[in-house]
Structure 1
Amino acid sequence: MSRFSLSSTVKLSSGYDMPIIGLGVYQNFDCVPACEAALKHGYKMIDTAEMYRNEEDVGKALKSSGVKREDIFITTKVIQNSFGFESAQKVVESSLKKLGVSYIDLDMLHSALGGKQKRLDAYRALLVKQQEGKIRSVGVSNFGVKHLEELKEAGLATPAVNQIELHPLCQQKPIVDYCRSNNIVIQAYCPIIRGDFSNETLQAICSKIGKTPVQVLLRWSIQRGFVPLPKSGNPERVLSNVDIFDFELSSEDMAQLDGLDKGDAGAISWNPVNCD
């Protein structure tokens, strides 16, 4: 029997607890129903972004759900087009207004694109907003080891989280190893490979244990210590996706999934971790 649940959390370096799984809302332009279903049935985290253009919908769902603000972990991100010190601060204020909240649990730089100086300035802006109490934890997304080292060399606080594409076909091992050695929690986007379940190894494991590909992939992610962010606009699927706490993948199953890694060739998203 699994020792995890939807209420399980991981401790961030900022001192706050983050749920071990959340709902992603990328390309979900009417995400209110999915978010309402998720919050009603025990999800504790929703991951949005300036670029997704649905922060207002997330805010509506949070309000209509009746769930207390302090019981929900909200993540958003500043896109590279808004990098720079002043512009990034403005985006944080805009996100707060759209979400209808007084603080953001985790705000991140959406990528390392845009050039070194602009991303450093934007990261400093997030740290200022954290000092003001408007952000609780500061993180990054799509940062490679080089970009994380830049933050260290600049004397800036280590990000609490790095959100990267992560699933059995694209395991980003150098970045994962770096993050683990520096107490950076790893969030996994595209954890269910955008619905491409054609891999024979995955299919065989699903048939053997009687679980869906989504459930197996999310279980792999959690057992590897990642924080997956499955996306769905279907309220029923939002619930079935996280029916993963009544089983564990065996060491043999885990090893077989680990063996599917294709490195960068396995990426299915933009995955700009090697940008300048």
Structure 2
Amino acid sequence: MENAIRQNLVSRRYTKNKVMMALSFLAAILGIFFLSVILVSLVFRGVSALSLDVFTMSIPAQGSRGGLINAIYGTVLVTGCAILIAAPIGILAGTYLVEYANGTKLAEVAKFINDILLSAPSIIIGVFVYGAVVVPMRGNSAIAGILALALIALPVVNRTTQDMLLLVPNALREATAALGAPRWKSMTLVIYRSAWTGILTGILLAVARISGETAPLLFTAGYSKFMNAGLTGPIATLPVAINTLAADPGEDLKQLAWAGALIITVAILALNILARLLSGRRQ
């Protein structure tokens, strides 16, 4: 009797397992299918829209020749400056929370706030920077876009730094302390060397995250069809340019939007692959 009950329970568990495995497999197939459809459509339309003009001319008026060089420049400028701000602050903040203030109430509150920022919708950050920077400056500017993207990237770098430093064995810290090395020398020569690959991976993921952001840039950096090398005026970026050109009735401008979408997708994909390679190398 007991054997029969046990076999019945085992049979029911195997049945449930097979059903869940089938549902999981179906969900994976559906996800891969829709992703493949999007990528194939993007590549097909994007490649056909690529030309030398895309990389040499600015965004045109309807019916004119043009390209996306000003939007590409704007994306590189805004993203690069944002990471230059967010990376050192995020690394230093993560270092302080793990190595110096770990276990204190200040650290717990700071980690909680960082997690909130990590999951906050980017449009909220865009609205905040709009009120704090754009309104006082009386107009959109690259500076406002840089600050918005830096606020989005900062919690990503901070959290990654914390996770990577927590993975460093305490034996390394104890060994350097036993040798009489100062705390700063232990951090720079031992701890950071052990965690730098993971920290760099986090920075690359932060770049991939902010390079495709549209909502905060609509409120902050604005949009311009002209090349603007300064930081105090509106500047075109690829996400905003794609959003604007795709809504235009002109077919030639829609083709430019497809080309821009392909460029930014390839760039983000390359960053993610590089981050994966670095993560695999660390493991």
The two structures have a TM-score, normalised by structure 1, of 0.22
Whichever structure has more helix as a proportion of its residues is 2
TM-score (norm 2): 0.22
Larger RCO, structures 1/2 (Cα 8 Å, 6+ apart): 2
The answer to which structure has the higher strand fraction is 1
